[in-house]
Amino acid sequence: EAQVTQNPRYLITVTGKKLTVTCSQNMNHEYMSWYRQDPGLGLRQIYYSMNVEVTDKGDVPEGYKVSRKEKRNFPLILESPSPNQTSLYFCASSLGGAAGQETQYFGPGTRLLVL
């Protein structure tokens, strides 16, 4: 089954404790992206990756890191989480950024609480 998976689905942590949220897709998609979703603000793009070893900042990259060492995986790293990073996080992938390839497939979400 074609899908985007995220782990963990739920996470409670404390300020300053490094964490990684994994994302994996099995559709051989080139493009992957991370979003955070907050009430009233919709989905805001954190980072995106156009292909292996190619990443760029979205609208809200502060406090986050990403890596794209393999095509299928795109982990989101919070080196020193803070309470304002409490949010619902979504990973997404698409064929690419060219015309006709933009439709993104989303993972189920990771709900993060930073105390």
Partner 1 sequence: GESVGLHLPTLSVQEGDNSIINCAYSNSASDYFIWYKQESGKGPQFIIDIRSNMDKRQGQRVTVLLNKTVKHLSLQIAATQPGDSAVYFCAEYTGGFKTIFGAGTRLFVKA
Instruction: For 55-115, give the DSSP string.
Output: EEE-S--TT-EE--SSSSB--EEESS--GGG-EEEEEEEES-SSTT----EE---EEEEE-
- Report the nearest approach of partner 1 to the CB of residue 83 (Å): 22
Q: Report how far residue 111's alpha carbon sits from residue 88's, in angstroms, rounded to the nearest whole number.
A: 4
Shortest distance (Å) from residue 14 CB to partner 1: 25
Pick between residue 64 and residue 80 the one whose CB is nearest to partner 1: 64
User: Which spans of this chain sit near partner 1 (rule: CB under 8 A)?
Assistant: 4, 31, 33, 35, 40-45, 48, 50, 56, 58-59, 90, 92, 97, 99, 102-109
The minimum distance between CB 27 and partner 1, in angstroms, equals 13
Contacts of residue 98, Cβ cutoff 8 Å, sequence gap at least 6: none
- 9 vs 18, beta carbon nearer partner 1: 9
Nearer to partner 1, 72 or 111 (CB): 111
